[in-house]
Structure 1
């Protein structure tokens, strides 16, 4: 029986035809996604669901999706899909992460021109019968300094286009290496230097805890007077109230925004201010981009439904069915090792070395490498998945090397990940026991045996009495339960580490209390996808 797919959003006819040409039965109902009750009634008939942003795939919808095997999102954002609920149902969620990169980059450049020359306001004035030539005095982009916050896939395209306009480009990105910066022709700087130097600032980062309000009132105050700011990335990257105040005071000369903290943005503190250009999240809205992502998602879904091949999956590794049964725990371990190093590393990573020892060295190392890199990159970019991770790593000039060797120690198999930066090397090793649960077995060359949990706390200290008591007492007083407690040391009186598996994230007061004791060299909370 042929697979059956529902297209519940507006996808191109070309994409719909791809399903038909591949022998897949398809129902094209582009308005159905807006009717959640009707969608819940019919979703049980389908093996695949192709969507854009209008369809909300909630846990309630998934509860009725008795035959659903794959959800394909034409585009990168999957905020409208309950991925954990889909994973529990065994439904693969795919996206198309790079189909609209050029379009979004071009929109950022267009917005820069618009705010530099006050084009929208001048257009409205002229069409109103006015001729205010002297009112609209703009500035050139030529020879101006563009500060790019986030030099990944889209950001690097913006850099290239800006260099073509003969702008000077400086870029801030924690994962941008000096080598990659030279390759794309930009000067790598820290954020404060970018803020101080840039005539124009454009943002191209995902919205995370670290990037939320990256242009805060404090950081906007650090910019040079007369700066112009462009955001075609994500709402929430800019403190909109602070930006409005800076525009009113004249410190910021203009702003162009395609995204807002709350969307649809029918009201906003920035609306109505002079020299503010706003568009309704049009970054990916070109005929070419819509066609590209629609075709891509149709091809990916067809491949999976007909052959089992998995591409650009957000909740499943790209491995064969035969490999999945054996590799599942090791893929999770590889991701955990990457997540640890990613959360522990604050400077650009130059290289990642992955050692596979024993039985794991005979597995699909490409997929395991992807899991490691995805874990590393998720610390700063939650949109990264196993397929896109190697591309993102390459964009950042990160060199990946792999070593595989026969069994060399007490474990039948283990994985060791070492990350290299300008300042240091950091390594962690782990294995999977017979119960299938990943374990950390070595950190900084110190042997341990630590079960991995969602919330963990990592500390380093000199090996002195009182560490266990201090950690236990501080957690107990804060009401944070310790599920597991692992200690290790290099030798008596030397370097020591502790890894605590907690039932809840440690509050900031706990982290401060531990730091204030003076006993610890490092206190770092960690979060793992341990489901």
Structure 2
């Protein structure tokens, strides 16, 4: 009997290696100590590979991995994995998203305590300098302090529970959860981000995406109270490091506890020069317990994938031309993009996702619904949402997935229509595909348009009066934002919707100025 080959490319806990080595139908090859350029010479033997952050799964790796059917990233982050490249080759990518949850939660609490008591500095003063000076190290208690938690998912919610046991006053900001998830734990829920900025301590636990990168910057720090403490054990770049440095140096931020940085290894980061920072070298997953769980879960996923049993925590859907009609693929991609666009335009706790397949594509309504759900939840969940767990996550969050098929598609041979309902509003978007590779959004909230689903978009709804386009152009020009395309839809009630595609990032200031125009009804900014 031919054995399945599982290749371990990076170091994992011995428990995972023992699991692989004990299987009679598995040929286990450990190449963790092999130089990465030499790895390319042997990866072609693998049916399944287990990697961590040290192995770049790029075009060279994929070209050499000619026999690879699945890849397990032993950890959460997949920044070093070319998921699109894997999908095109039919390689299923999986990660291990929850094994390090408790480790990250407890490290967050450790940084919080260390900052409040200046623990590392008091330790060094005694142990390294041999100075006994108690009066120098007065700290602060967690009790009765107000903790602001940005992101209330697996990790943020557990930090909140532990903070409550310290008798802290806890508030969370997460527009993508049902408020009851917080309030049921005795945690205050807010939709006003300024409520978080007014806290004594702020900790962040969000995915890293376009919305969250640099979400705490100079303006946000200016709004904080004097002596605030900031914690980041999530992802580097969620805090603007330059603004963080200035805030720490001025004393506006009394202390910061950091486990992650924009560029790692961070051995030359200016933040290390400050004496009011506690730092660790990305240790969020570095406990023996979490490493054991990561290794054993990764090994089990590799075994299941090698045997073709299941693909838990799959992050992609392999696309094989022989198994899917050529015209279907662009509609699946388009539906996911529409879901992502709708979630950015309609931020809030999602209540329902309705997907309608019109014409020939309607036969694939189940697949369309999966892609729509992944797109809609990607805005709030980032890399944790995937094609395998989408239905489960939606059900867990109380989101209704409504599927409809229609044999006719009006003016188009096939089209898809998505209706996203949140606790705030409803957004409805329709799209179609031409010639199997041209995707178009053809309607947004009843306004007929023709927009390529790509790039930075400003959605500007306004009363249809003279001078609006000129006013919009002047504001964008003033802020050096270049317009790449301008598409306008009008209705019979005197309203218009412009989709303005721009070349530059758009600041909150620009959006505020656009919204302040007399004709403005709403302004939204989305990125595809």
Distance 1:123 1:311, change over 3 A: same
**Count of paired positions:** 516
Gap regions ≥5 residues in structure 1: none
Cα deviation, residue 204, structure 1: 0.8
Per-residue deviation, 1:393: 5.7
SS at match of 1:97: coil
1:180 match: 181
For 2:172 and 2:308, the matched residues in 1 are separated by 42
Mark the CA change 1:240 to 1:497 in structure 2 (over 3 Å): closer, same or farther.
closer
Quote the residue 2:193 is aligned against.
191
Work out the CA distance in 1 between the residues paired with 2:211 and 2:364.
35
Distance change >3 Å, CA 69–CA 468, structure 1 → 2: farther
Shift of 1:514: 8.7
Shift of the alpha carbon at 1:112? Answer: 1.1
Q: Is the 8 A contact 2:86 2:318 kept in 1?
A: no
Distance 1:270 1:145, change over 3 A: same
Q: Give the Cα separation in 1 of the matches to 2:83 and 2:334.
A: 20
Looking at structure 2, the residues matched to 360 and 160 of structure 1 have their Cα atoms a distance apart, in angstroms, of 46
- Judged with a 3 Å threshold, the aligned counterparts in structure 2 of structure 1 residues 356 and 251 are, in CA distance, closer, same or farther, namely same
Aligned residue number for residue 51 of structure 2: 51
Distance 1:60 1:350 in 2: 40
Distance 1:283 1:441, change over 3 A: same
| Aligned mates of 1:400, 1:16 — CA distance in 2 | 41
Q: Check whether the contact 2:48–2:70 (CA below 8 A) recurs between aligned residues.
A: yes
Instruction: Report the alpha carbon displacement of residue 60 of structure 1 after superposing the two structures with TM.
Output: 2.4
- 1:223 equivalent in structure 2: 224
The range that moved more, 296-305 or 157-166, is 296-305
Deviates further, 273-282 or 516-525: 516-525
Q: Which of 24, 27, 52 matches 1:25? A: 27
Post-superposition shift, 1:170?
0.8
Matching of residue 352 in structure 1 with residue 352 in structure 2: yes
Q: What is residue 160 of structure 2 aligned with on the other side?
A: 159
Q: Work out whether 1:115 is the aligned partner of 2:115.
A: yes
In 2, the alpha carbon distance for the partners of 1:240 and 1:514 equals 29
- What is the CA-CA distance between 1:124 and the residue it aligns to? 2.4
Alignment partner, residue 400 of structure 2 = 400
SS class of match (2:383) = coil
SS of residue matched to 2:40: helix
Change (3 A) 1:255 1:39: same
**1:225/1:252 contact within 8 Å kept:** yes
Superposition deviation, residue 516 in structure 1: 9.9
Please give the residue correspondences for 1:164-313 in structure 2 after superposition, counting only pairs within 5 Å.
Answer: 164-189=165-190, 190-196=192-198, 198-307=199-308, 309-313=310-314
Structure 1 window deviating more from structure 2 (247-256 vs 161-170): it is 247-256
Instruction: Please state how far the C-alpha of 1:333 moved relative to its aligned partner.
Output: 3.4
Match of 1:373 in 2: 373
State the alpha-carbon separation in 1 of the partners of residues 514 and 222 from structure 2. Answer: 33
Match of 2:4 in 1: 3
Q: CA deviation at 1:158?
A: 0.9
Deviation string, structure 1 residues 90-135 (Cα, Å, up to 9, x no partner)? 4332212222112111110121122222222222233243322222
- Alignment check: 8 A CA contact 1:151 1:171 kept: yes
Structure 1 pair 311–499 and aligned structure 2 pair: CA distance change class (3 A):
farther
CA distance in 2, matches of 1:467, 1:224: 40
CA displacement 1:284-327 (0-9 Å, x = unmatched): 111221122222222223323322643323332799x9679896
After superposition, the Cα gap between the structure-2 partners of 1:118 and 1:466, relative to the gap in structure 1 and judged at 3 Å, is: closer
Secondary structure at the counterpart of residue 80 of structure 2:
coil
Please tell me whether the aligned partners of residues 313 and 385 of structure 1 are also in contact (alpha carbons under 8 angstroms).
Answer: no
Query: How far apart are the structure 1 equivalents of 2:195 and 2:57?
Result: 42
TM-score computed with the length of structure 2 as normaliser: 0.83
Cα deviation digits, residues 134-193 of structure 1 (max 9, x gap): 222222212221111111221111111112222111112232333333234321222212
Shift of 1:454: 5.4
1:2-151 paired onto structure 2 within 5 Å: 2-20=3-21, 21=23, 23-32=25-34, 35-128=35-128, 129-151=130-152
Change (3 A) 1:505 1:488: same
* Runs (5+) with no aligned partner, structure 2: none
User: Could you say if the C-alpha distance between residues 295 and 340 of structure 1 is closer, same or farther in structure 2, counting changes exceeding 3 Å?
Assistant: same
The 1:178–1:381 alpha-carbon spacing in structure 2 relative to 1, beyond 3 Å, is closer
Q: Is the 8 A contact 2:230 2:257 kept in 1?
A: yes
Distance change (3 Å), C-alpha of 1:279 and 1:393: farther
Q: State the alpha-carbon separation in 2 of the partners of residues 124 and 77 from structure 1.
A: 33
C-alpha deviation, 1:36, in angstroms? 2.3
Aligned residue in 1 for 2:337 = 336
**Residue correspondence of structure 1 range 389-468 to structure 2 within 5 A:** 389=390, 397=397, 399-404=399-404, 407=407, 410=410, 415-430=416-431, 435=436, 439-447=440-448, 452-453=453-454, 458-463=459-464
Give the superposition deviation at 1:207: 2.7
CA distance in 1, matches of 2:298, 2:291: 11
Structure 1 distance, partners of 2:517, 2:248, is 44
Q: Within 5 Å, which residues of 2 pair with 1:463-482?
A: 463=464
How many Å separate the matches in 1 of 2:353 and 2:84?
Answer: 30
Any idea what SS the aligned residue of 2:238 has?
Answer: coil
* Distance change >3 Å, CA 153–CA 421, structure 1 → 2: same
Q: Is the 8 A contact 1:430 1:440 kept in 2?
A: yes
Q: Partners in 1 of 2:233 and 2:319 — Cα distance?
A: 31
Q: What are the residue-to-residue correspondences of 1:479-490 with 2, within 5 Å? A: 488-490=489-491
